[in-house]
């Protein structure tokens, strides 16, 4: 399986889950994006590491890990998001000490917070992007353009409904789901897009 490099595109606040954020990773050289829901602390830690002009008065947990690792000659070389199970991403830190590599299991949010601090690249496998990636721009096909107004209103209503209230997409056609996905991505509602994407994948 080939590895694909990912770049951090941004972090957006979750409109549907209190205290949660969506970390958006973009495929290098491609147009697929990988939205990952993370906690507020991890989002803050990643944002601070990305913002060079912000320096917290005391080290955050991920800063402490970096200082500790460097003191003992350990370097994080890269992060690999290697598995996706029931919507949960699993990651590994590839570390090196004295030219010996070790693989350490980590939550994806923690792994990326450390990757930013060590300036380490982030990768995932092609099959994970195929399964969970969302196209940045989705071209409308003929069937979507010809949909009637009732369908458009239904899609708009669902897009504006919190994900927690959207438990059943069974009554929607594939065309309606694809149009909802397009609208959600356009509105940068990546959590909803991920939910719709999962339903499309199931079918």
Do 33 and 124 have their domain in common? yes
Dihedral sign, Cα of residue 11, residue 176, residue 27, residue 66:
positive
CA-nearest of 22, 26, 61 to 43 is 22
Q: How far apart are CA 193 and CA 104, in angstroms?
A: 31
Determine the Cα–Cα distance for residues 38 and 170; give it in Å rounded to an integer. Answer: 28
* Residue 116 shares a structural domain with residue 171: no
Terminal-to-terminal C-alpha distance of the chain: 24
Same structural domain, 187 and 123: no
Contact status, residue 81 vs residue 89, Cβ threshold 8 Å? yes
**Range in 103-107, 140-144, 195-199 the model is least confident about:** 140-144
Q: Are residues 104 and 171 in the same domain?
A: no
Q: Do 34 and 97 fall within a single domain?
A: yes
Give the total number of structural domains in the chain.
2
In this predicted model, what pLDDT tens digit does every residue of 123-181 receive, in sequence order?
A: 999 999 998 888 765 333 333 333 344 434 443 443 444 444 444 677 788 888 888 87
Enter the DSSP assignment of 170. Answer: T
DSSP string, 30-67: S-EEEEEEEEHHHHHHHHHHH-TT---SS--HHHHHHH
Tell me if 138 is assigned to some domain. Answer: no
**118 and 177 both lie in a single domain:** no
Q: Is residue 169 within 8 Å of residue 196, measured between CB atoms?
A: yes
Helix (H) or strand (E) holding 122: strand 122-125
Q: Range of 171's domain?
A: 167-202
CATH value at residue 38: 3.10.690.10
The verdict on 18 and 62 lying in the same domain is: yes
Q: Give the model's pLDDT for residue 142.
A: 32
Residue 50 in any domain: the answer is yes
Decide which of 142 and 118 is more confident.
118
Report pLDDT digits (tens) over 25-46. Answer: 999 988 899 989 888 889 888 9
For residue 59, what pLDDT is reported? 87
Residue at 154 is within a domain: no
78 found inside a domain: yes
Are residues 122 and 181 located together in one domain of the fold? no
185 within a domain of the structure (yes/no): yes
Last residue of a domain, one of 86, 110, 133: 133
Predicted TM-score (pTM) of the model is 0.67
Whether 139 maps to a domain, the answer reads no
pLDDT value of position 157: 42
d(CA 28, CA 196): 24
Same domain as 75, residue 33: yes
């Amino acid at each position: 399986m080939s590895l694909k490099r990912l770049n951090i595109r941004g972090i957006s606040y979750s409109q549907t889950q209190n205290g949660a954020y969506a970390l958006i990773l973009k495929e290098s050289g491609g147009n697929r994006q990988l939205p990952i829901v993370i906690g507020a602390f991890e989002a803050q830690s990643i944002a601070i590491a990305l913002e060079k002009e912000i320096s917290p008065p005391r080290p955050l947990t991920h800063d402490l890990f970096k200082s500790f690792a460097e003191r003992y000659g350990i370097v994080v070389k890269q992060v690999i998001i290697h598995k996706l199970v029931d919507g949960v991403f699993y990651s590994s830190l590839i570390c090196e000490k004295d030219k010996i590599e070790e693989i350490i299991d980590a939550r994806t949010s923690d792994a990326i917070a450390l990757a930013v601090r060590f300036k380490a690249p982030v990768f995932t496998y092609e099959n994970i992007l195929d399964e969970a990636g969302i196209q940045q721009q989705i071209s409308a096909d003929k069937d979507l353009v010809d949909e009637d107004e009732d369908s458009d209103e239904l899609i708009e209503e669902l897009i504006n409904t919190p994900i927690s209230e959207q438990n059943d997409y069974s009554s929607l056609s594939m065309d309606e789901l694809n149009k909802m996905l397009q609208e959600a991505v356009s509105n940068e509602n990546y959590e909803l897009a991920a939910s719709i994407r999962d339903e499309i994948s199931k079918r």
